[in-house]
Amino acid sequence: MSVAIKANRLTPYLFLAPAGIILIFALLYPIGYMVYASFLDWSPSQRIGQAEFIGLRNYINLMSDEAFRESFWVTIRFAAVVVTLEMALGVGLALLLDRNIPGMAVLRTVFILPMMIAPIVVGLMWRYMYHPTVGIFNRTLKDMGLEGIPWLSDSTWSFIAVVIADVWQWTPFIFILALAAMQSLPRSALEAAEIDGASEWQKIILIKLPLMMPVLIVTLLLRLIDAFKVLEVILVLTNGGPGLSTEILALRIFRTAQEFQELGEAAAMSNVLLMLLMAITIGMFAYNRVQEARAARQRAIAEKGDD
């Protein structure tokens, strides 16, 4: 092989190198740092080199840590509830609003406003609305002669309160993605279904939703990852309380590092969360890959046998 050809072969790697270097420093290094830190007994007053290496003890401690287990389940429960509600509402709204109504463009913009507000602000806003005496909810309830709800001071209600705030903020995200998916559906297939005798409901259940499924799955995945990491809104609204009723993992990690000064243990928690999200993501991609490979194989056969 001549030198020129060798040089040609190497050229692409040369061009890729800057991106690769940035990737290493911006992505792999911090993650590697975190993984390494999770094996240390490390307090913020120490440099990382002075911290004691304790192997898997942080992870073992986590298993027996009641508070962590509680946080873990709160997180799972929170993610499952908000994502289910948001998917149902977002897709439902998209189905309702996928038509030519005058002023629709304005309406759509209004719908996605909550998404554009900084989470901290969302948290503050809802905290005022949930306020036991001056908040709009309890004032309204009282005006109607009903008793006020202990929004943020009762463990069940505070969970509901954070769920409502999250649903309010993130339903629009699902809504715009679902609407985009819906508007790129093949018109003629829907018309064919109409002629074949499908009612509006049957068109939704049998044609629209199955065809939107790939987009909806990715949307679900994005929301799920985000819901597992939610922090600011809950931090401002309840700070995890009352008790541990709304202390999701991100908040637990934050407090472990900040208040309890256990950097190693916080890193271990982060890793557990990371592994959980990776498992979900890889599972989804693997499923997609299998489906695509099957379709490609069949298409190859079809083209070979074509007239």
Partner 1 sequence: MPRIHLENLVKRYGDFEVLHGINLEMHENEFTVLVGPSGCGKSTTLRMIAGLETVSSGEIFINEKPVSHLEPKARDLAMVFQDYALYPHMNVAKNMSFALRLQRRPKAEIDEKVGAVADMLGLTKFLHRKPGELSGGQRQRVAMGRALTRNAGTFLFDEPLSNLDAKLRGQMRAELALMRQKVRKNMIYVTHDQIEAMTLADRIVVMHGGYIQQQGTPEELFKRPVNKFVAGFLGSPPMNFLDANLEERDGRLFVHGAGFDIALPEDKIAAAKAHNDGALTLGIRPSDLHFNPDAPDESSIDLKVIVSEYIGAQSVLLCACGDQNVEVELKSETPIALGETLRFAVNTEGIHMFDRETEVAIR
Q: Does 106 bind partner 1 (CB under 8 A)?
A: no
Angstrom distance (rounded) from CA 210 to CA 186: 12
8: its two tokens: 């040609």
Exactly one of 186, 289, 290, 293 binds partner 1 (CB under 8 A); that residue is: 186
Q: Does 302 bind partner 1 (CB under 8 A)?
A: yes
179 Cβ contact partners less than 8 Å away, ≥ 6 residues apart? 94, 97, 98, 108
CB of 178 to partner 1, least distance (A): 17
Q: Does 63 bind partner 1 (CB under 8 A)?
A: no
- The stretch among 58-66, 136-144, 155-163, 183-191 that binds partner 1 (CB under 8 A) is 183-191
Q: Does 298 bind partner 1 (CB under 8 A)?
A: yes
Q: Does 194 bind partner 1 (CB under 8 A)?
A: yes
Q: Does 101 bind partner 1 (CB under 8 A)?
A: no
Exactly one of 193, 218, 222, 225 binds partner 1 (CB under 8 A); that residue is: 193
- The stretch among 34-42, 60-68, 167-175, 199-207 that binds partner 1 (CB under 8 A) is 199-207
CB of 174 to partner 1, least distance (A): 21
- Torsion (CA) 143, 149, 153, 158 in degrees, nearest 10: -120
Q: Are 95 and 149 in contact (CB under 8 A)?
A: no
How far is CA 293 from each of CA 229, 296, 297, rounded to the nearest angstrom?
Answer: 32, 5, 6
Beta bridge partners of 40: 53
CB of 303 to partner 1, least distance (A): 6
CB of 182 to partner 1, least distance (A): 15
Give how far the C-alpha of residue 83 lies from the chain's centroid of Cα atoms, to the nearest Å.
Answer: 8
Q: Does 18 bind partner 1 (CB under 8 A)?
A: no
Q: Does 205 bind partner 1 (CB under 8 A)?
A: no
Exactly one of 196, 217, 243, 289 binds partner 1 (CB under 8 A); that residue is: 196
Q: Is 71 exposed, middle or buried (0-12, 13-18, 19+ CB in 10 A)?
A: buried
Geometric angle at alpha carbon 251, from 174 and 219, rounded to 5°: 15
242 Cβ contact partners less than 8 Å away, ≥ 6 residues apart? 152, 153, 154, 155, 158
Angstrom distance (rounded) from CA 61 to CA 165: 33
Q: Does 218 bind partner 1 (CB under 8 A)?
A: no
Give the residue with the Cβ less far from partner 1, 113 or 300: 300
Q: Does 191 bind partner 1 (CB under 8 A)?
A: yes
Binding site for partner 1 (CB under 8 A): 186, 188-189, 191-198, 202, 206-207, 210-211, 213, 295, 298-299, 301-303, 306-307
